[in-house]
A and B are shown apart, each in its own frame.
Chain A
Amino acid sequence: MVSKKALITGIVCAAMALVAYFAWQFEFFTYDTNSYTTTAEQLFTTDHLARLLPLALIGLLSALSIVACVALRKRLALKDPRRMPSAARGVSQPQRPRHRKRVSRFQVLRWVCMIGFFVFMVFGGILLGARFSWISIPVLSCPANMSQLTEASCYYLAHLDELASLPWTGVLTFLVSTLGFVLVFGRTLCGFLCPMGLAQDVMHAIRQKCKVEGIAMTDRMYQSLVPLRWTMLFLMMGLCFAGGNFCNFCPAISLSPIAAGLSVSLYASGFLMVFVLVAGFFKRRFFCTICPLGYLMGLAHAIQPFRIKKDCVACTECGACYEACPMGIKQIYTEREHSDVTDINCIMCGACVQCCPEDRALSLTFFGKGLYVSKRSRVVGAYGRIQHD
């Protein structure tokens, strides 16, 4: 007897596989002839702007879906008497000065890295030349943009048959650069470089600004996503052997190539990108939890030099880190024996360290050196300045 949950999971995974296989049937925005390169002259011309249309379409569809979701949730909340206080319009109260949030230098650095990398990946090849194109970085910055600064490893991982037909030097540089990045950085690249991560973090930041309620996931919900992640991995690595093309399904193709002003046809990926943005709006970095490339990079968590360390005695199990973690890593607050809590899913975004209220309980380290260490003053210190403001 198959349980209901297993049945649903099976159906979702099968549907995903079908959509991926027949991805070219779902036309989102197509061109008769695709172009995969651009030149410096074409940048920021009206032609370039016109080619951003698919991206604008994705943004518009996402915004509409989000508004619809919020309206629907509000209606449901009004029907539920227990959720009334949030739904009902409150009597306005005299406003006291709110404390200013301390800007975290670590998070600023992370945002600068993400945005800077995005810009360089989209336009870097045009501006600096193709001299880094032999490097393969394992991030979802779509290599359909052939003018980007470096190669992205995802293309050959999704087309293993093509990798096999490369000359041995090509295979070697691919393997060496990809493995090098994975072994040194691991999923730190997800948190600091990945353009898909940036897009989702931007959606999250917008939600925080609008103070719209998100969707909190429990560990069971995270668990039920694991089969989806395996299916994604299976599709990415295996579709090329079955005659499919993962790139028509991968949402990343609708981000950087379009931003660079290329005429690249979008199939299922366009619709999927809308889903990624909407899901990322309500649940921070939702796509990262099922990202196949991220999972492969996560395998390096056992040896990578970037690690999350924990002082198990200082921890009060307050669970703030777990609430903040976009990847839903529970052991970070339940762990009571081992000082190393680096998880296969950890993207080193530092959210746990940022909100940890206990001195030195959590730290992000590089070769054992603390780069970002939790401090009580970071959490409660902000409140102390209310009176002085």
Chain B
Amino acid sequence: MTNDAITQAQREQRHKELFASKATHMTQKYLRRMRALGGGSDLLEPFFDVLERTYVRWEDVVKPPDTPTVGTYCVQVPPELIYAAGAQPVKLCSGHYTAFSIGDDVVARDACPLVKAVAGFKHMGTLPIYENCSLMVVPITCDCKKKIAGLLQDECPVHTLPVPANKEDEDIEAFVDELYGLAAVLSEKTGQALSYESLAQAIDRMGRAQYELSRFLQLKRDSQGLLHGTHAMAVMNAASYLDVDTWADALGKLNDALAVRARTGQLVTNKDLPRILLTGSPLVFPNLKIPLLIEESGGLVVADETCMGERGLSDPVVPVDRSFDGLMRALAIRALRPCPCPTFADNSQRMYRLRQMIRDYRVEGVIYHVLRGCLVYDYEYRMVEEELEQLGVPVIRLESDYTDQDVEQIRIRTEAFVEMIKLKKGPRGASGSSR
């Protein structure tokens, strides 16, 4: 009996070690590919380092000592609220293939890989960003998130945040109430009551990050080809595992360096590459194979409309009423109204967002990414396809899973898509005339 127990423990230990080695190997491979893209990747070392620390060295979030961490999912959980309660938010949406293969056995077959990867990490119980969470806040944005909330409850305290299906005034009021509920749970966890001052401070801290982000996006808009889109996504992904001030500082330095490059005309490429917009299901590090494949096959991801990318942080909180309730309302409004997430029944505003991005970034082709089992995004493909047809912008739908097995199929399709845009651009684009 004792012997059996020991071997059981040893087996588990071996299983964990094997998982660790496979997982770090996978992460390293994607970091290597991102660095190999070149063109400004030296500037991005601080951000790569964050990803490396989290997924290769398996360290916890960078945060002030004695700060409890609160895990969040999706973009509807206001990080301001968590900072104001004296805790550190960490975004736990996962893109890890190794964890996915574990989670595949834990959750329903047709669940989306993002949720499977989360379940996998939590099942292995080894990654510090998951294990050190004193609370997880799960917004109910889709069926998979709802069920994973129930699953996580066995391992960690979970607070579910219902997200309304519409954005009418009554829905906003209800969501404000939900945020008050979340605030009560958070301050109970940290022992710090929220006040006007602490919340205003947290909004200021996030505001500075958003200021740097809008500078970053402005630089990208003004001189396209300043940075690889994959790298921009790495920058956005790194924000999940850092405290907001550190991220804002790093982004500020990157912006300064990029501004110099923009002035001196130092671009990642002098060629007029096909400008591609990436939209659809979340792309979480290390699952960046699609932007990597696009840019490896000669395209340029000029922008992304995904929730782990620009969408997650770009809409600022606009406090118009200087009272505690006014700030809470501003948080609720920011979390719902500008959010083009397909969790909302009527999401036609996403079409306008896409239209604006196509205009601002002079987009020549759109790649619509659907994670296998991500129904809400799959539903909206038709709407996007019809809209883009009117605008005369080609679009393809790429379905992918958290595995390397579909890489070659995706590569063939992205290469064909990129070539098609090059042909459409005519000989000037195809021959790669310099700007």
Contact = CB atoms under 8 A, between A and B. Distances in A.
Pairing of A with B: yes
Interface of A: 81-86, 88-93, 95-96, 98-99, 207-209, 211-214, 216, 218-220, 312-320, 323-324, 333, 336, 351, 355, 357, 376-377, 379-384, 386-387
Given A85-B184, A214-B326, A384 B211 contact: yes
Contacts of A81: 184
Q: Which 9 A-B pairs have the closest CB atoms?
A: A383-B207, A90-B195, A318-B338, A218-B169, A319-B337, A384-B211, A90-B193, A320-B318, A213-B325
B338 A317 contact: yes
A218 B318 contact: no
A93 B86 contact: yes
B343 interface: no
Contact of A323 (B183, B252, B329): B329
B243 to A, nearest CB: 13
Interface in B166-187: 167-170, 172-173, 177, 180-181, 183-184, 187
Interface string B314-334: 011010111111101110011
Contacts of B181: 82
Contact of B207 (A209, A323, A382): A382
Contacts of B246: none
A380 B193 contact: no
Given A208-B323, A211-B323, A320-B330, 8 more contacts: A85-B324, A90-B197, A90-B198, A91-B193, A93-B195, A213-B326, A312-B352, A316-B338
Nearest to A381: B211
Given A86-B180, A91-B192, A211 B324 contact: yes
Given A96-B201, A213-B324, A85 B169 contact: no
B174 to A, nearest CB: 11
Interface in B112-159: none
Nearest to A311: B356
B124 to A, nearest CB: 35
B208 A85 contact: no
A380 B213 CA distance: 10
Nearest to B210: A380
Given A95-B197, A214-B323, A318-B315, A336 B180 contact: no
Contact of B208 (A207, A212, A324, A386): A386
A318 B318 contact: yes
A81 B212 CA distance: 37
B322 A211 contact: yes
Given A220-B169, A383-B210, A85 B333 contact: no
A364 to B, nearest CB: 17
B337 A357 contact: no
B204 A383 contact: yes
A82 B318 contact: no
Interface residues of B, number: 57
A210 B168 CA distance: 30
10 contacts: A85-B187, A90-B195, A91-B193, A208-B322, A212-B323, A317-B338, A319-B167, A383-B211, A386-B207, A386-B208
B192 A90 contact: yes
Contacts, number: 154
A323 B333 contact: yes
A323 B325 contact: no
A70 to B, nearest CB: 11
A319 B320 CA distance: 11
Contacts of A219: 168-169
B192 A319 contact: no
A86 B86 contact: no
A228 to B, nearest CB: 19
B337 A317 contact: yes
Given A85-B180, A93-B86, A207 B352 contact: no
A83 B180 contact: yes
A99 B315 contact: no
B355 interface: yes
Contact of B333 (A83, A88, A212, A319): A319
B266 interface: no
B166 to A, nearest CB: 12
A358 to B, nearest CB: 9
B186 to A, nearest CB: 8
Contacts of B329: 216, 323
B187 A320 contact: no
Contact of B349 (A317, A320, A387): A317
B138 to A, nearest CB: 19
Nearest to B248: A387
Nearest to B317: A320
Given A89-B193, A90-B198, A383-B208, A316 B349 contact: yes
Contact of B315 (A95, A212, A357): A357
B223 interface: no
Contacts of A376: 214
Nearest to B249: A387
A386 B349 CA distance: 32
- Centre residue among B187, B252, B320, B353 by max chain A CB count within 10 A: B320
Contacts of B198: 90, 93
B247 to A, nearest CB: 13
Contacts of A92: 195
Nearest to B193: A90
A218 B193 contact: no
Nearest to A377: B214
- Centre residue among A85, A209, A212, A386 by max chain B CB count within 10 A: A85
